[in-house]
C-alpha cells in the first residue's frame, strides 16, 4: 500500500537580490510516496536545485513548506542525504574514510566499531567500490568518486535520497553503468529518491514519476508524468518499448514545445527586470 512520505505544500521561494526580491518558485505542490523514485526536469535556472535544497533543509521557503512523515523540515538532517554533481569528497581521506565520516556522525553510540566497519564495507560493496576503498579521491575516476558519494549518502540510511544531477559530469558509458547501479540499489533498498536531471532518457529509465517544471521566474510544476513501466528496466529493451518512447516524447514535448515559447518570453522579461533604463522597458513593451 502507498504511504505518503514527503509533502511539498504551496511552496513559494523568494531570494533577496540587489534589484529587490527575486521570485524563484511559486505554488509548488507535490506529494511523494515512500519508496518512489521521482525525477525533476526543467530548463536551466527554473528552480530544480532550489526545490531539492528546500527538501534538504538548506533553504527555508518564503511561503508554504515541506513535511517529512508529517513533520516540518526546518534544517538539514541525516534522514535526507544529498548526492551532488561534484561528489564533494574530502580529498585527503580514502573512500573508506569518507564513508566512515558520515557513518560516525549518524551511528556513533548506536553501532559498535565492528558494526560500523561492516556497514561501511557493505555500502561500498553496493556501489562496487570494494577493491578501491582504500584509495584517495585523486587516485580514482570521476565515476568512482560519484559511486563513493552515493555510498556515503546511502550509509547514512536516509529515508530520502536527494540527488542533484548525480551523473551530470560523467561520460555516457560511465553514466549508463551508474544509472544501472542506482536502479539495482533502489530495487534492493526501496528508499525514496528525488533526482534532478537534464537528461530525458535518464529520467524515463529511472523514475516512477517525472516532475516537469515551468521556466522561471515564479517557476512551478507544469506537468507530472507517471512512468508506468515494469521493473527491472533494461535500457536496450526500452529502446523498442512503445510506452517508454511515449514517455520520452511527452517530456520532450513539454520541454521543447510547451516551455519553449515561455522561455523566450521570460528571457525578455528578465532583461526588462534587470535593466536600469526605462527606455529599454518601453522599447520591449512596444515591440
Ligand atoms: N541564493 C540565491 N540568490 C538569488 N537568486 C538565486 C539564488 N539561488 C538561486 N537563485 C535563482 O533562482 C533561480 C532558480 O535557481 P536553481 O539553481 O534552483 O535553478 P536550476 O533549475 O537548478 O538550474 P540549473 O539547471 O542551471 O542547475 C535562478 O534564476 C537562480 O538565479
What nine digits make up the cell of 280?
A: 529599454
Distance (Å, whole) CA 123 – CA 205: 23
Q: Give nearest CA residue, ligand 1 atom 6.
A: 15
Bond preceding residue 217 cis, omega within 30 of 0: yes
Q: Any idea which architecture 4-79+158-256 has in CATH?
A: 3-Layer(aba) Sandwich (3.40)
Nearest-10 crossing angle of helices 95-107, 113-126:
130
**What values do phi and psi take at 220, rounded to 5?**
-150, -175
Which helix (H) or strand (E) segment holds residue 99: the answer is helix 95-107
Indicate the burial class of 159 (C-beta count within 10 angstroms; 0-12, 13-18, 19 or more).
middle
β-bridge partners, 30: 8
ipTM over 0.90: yes
Indicate the burial class of 1 (C-beta count within 10 angstroms; 0-12, 13-18, 19 or more).
exposed
CA of residue 24 to ligand 1 center, whole Å: 7
- Domain chopping of the chain, boundaries: 4-79+158-256, 88-157
What does the pLDDT look like over 120-141, one tens digit per residue? 999 999 888 999 999 999 999 9
- What is the reported pLDDT for 58? 94
Strand (E) positions, 18-111?
A: 20-33, 37-41, 63-68, 71-72, 80-83
17, 45, 55, best to mutate for ligand 1 pocket (most atoms within 8 Å of CB): 45
Residue numbers in the chain where pLDDT is lower than 50: 263, 268-287
CA of residue 48 to ligand 1 center, whole Å: 8
- What is the reported pLDDT for 102? 93
Strand, coil or helix: 252: helix
Q: Give nearest CA residue, ligand 1 atom 29.
A: 45
What does the pLDDT look like over 157-193, one tens digit per residue? 899 999 999 888 888 888 898 899 899 889 988 999 9
- What is the reported pLDDT for 171? 85
Q: Give nearest CA residue, ligand 1 atom 25.
A: 44
Strand order through the sheet with 20-33: 20-33, 4-17, 63-68, 71-72
Q: Give nearest CA residue, ligand 1 atom 12.
A: 24
Q: 255 with 200: CB under 8 angstroms? A: yes
Q: Give nearest CA residue, ligand 1 atom 16.
A: 47
CA of residue 16 to ligand 1 center, whole Å: 12
- What is the reported pLDDT for 264? 53
- What is the reported pLDDT for 22? 96
What nine digits make up the cell of 173?
A: 558509458
CA dihedral 50, 55, 56, 62 (to 10 degrees): 60
Residue (of 113, 127, 121) closest to 188 by Cα position: 127
Other Cβ atoms closer than 10 A to 226:
10
Total number of residues shown for the chain: 287
CA of residue 211 to ligand 1 center, whole Å: 17
CA of residue 271 to ligand 1 center, whole Å: 16
Other Cβ atoms closer than 10 A to 132:
18
Pocket residues: Cβ below 6 A from ligand 1: 15, 17, 22, 24, 42, 44-50, 216
- What is the reported pLDDT for 216? 84
- What is the reported pLDDT for 266? 55
Amino acid at each position: 500500500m502507498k504511504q505518503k512520505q514527503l509533502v511539498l505544500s504551496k511552496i513559494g521561494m523568494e531570494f533577496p537580490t540587489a534589484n529587490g526580491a527575486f521570485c524563484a518558485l511559486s505554488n509548488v505542490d507535490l506529494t511523494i510516496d515512500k519508496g518512489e523514485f521521482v525525477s525533476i526536469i526543467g530548463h536551466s535556472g527554473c528552480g530544480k536545485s532550489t526545490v531539492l535544497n528546500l527538501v534538504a533543509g538548506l533553504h527555508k521557503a518564503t511561503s508554504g513548506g515541506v513535511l517529512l512523515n508529517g513533520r516540518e523540515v526546518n534544517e538539514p538532517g541525516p534522514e535526507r542525504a544529498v548526492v551532488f554533481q561534484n561528489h564533494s569528497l574530502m580529498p585527503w581521506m580514502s573512500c573508506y574514510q569518507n564513508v566512515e565520516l558520515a557513518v560516525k556522525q549518524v551511528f556513533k553510540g548506536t553501532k559498535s566499531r565492528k558494526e560500523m566497519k561492516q556497514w561501511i564495507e557493505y555500502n561500498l560493496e553496493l556501489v562496487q567500490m570494494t577493491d578501491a576503498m582504500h584509495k584517495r579521491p585523486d587516485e580514482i575516476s570521476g565515476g568512482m568518486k560519484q559511486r563513493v558519494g552515493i555510498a556515503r549518502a546511502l550509509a547514512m540510511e536516509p529515508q530520502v535520497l536527494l540527488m542533484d544531477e548525480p551523473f551530470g559530469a560523467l561520460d555516457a558509458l560511465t553514466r549508463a553503468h551508474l544509472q544501472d547501479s542506482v536502479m539495482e540499489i533502489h530495487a534492493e533498498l526501496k528508499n525514496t529518491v528525488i533526482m534532478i536531471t537534464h537528461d530525458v532518457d535518464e529520467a524515463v529509465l529511472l523514475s516512477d514519476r517525472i516532475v516537469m517544471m515551468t521556466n522561471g521566474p515564479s517557476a512551478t510544476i507544469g506537468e507530472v508524468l507517471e512512468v508506468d513501466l515494469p521493473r527491472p528496466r533494461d535500457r536496450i529493451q526500452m529502446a523498442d518499448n512503445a510506452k517508454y518512447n511515449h514517455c520520452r516524447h511527452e517530456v520532450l514535448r513539454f520541454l521543447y514545445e510547451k516551455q519553449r515559447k515561455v522561455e523566450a518570453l521570460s528571457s525578455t522579461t528578465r532583461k526588462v527586470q534587470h535593466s536600469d533604463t526605462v527606455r529599454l522597458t518601453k522599447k520591449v513593451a512596444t515591440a
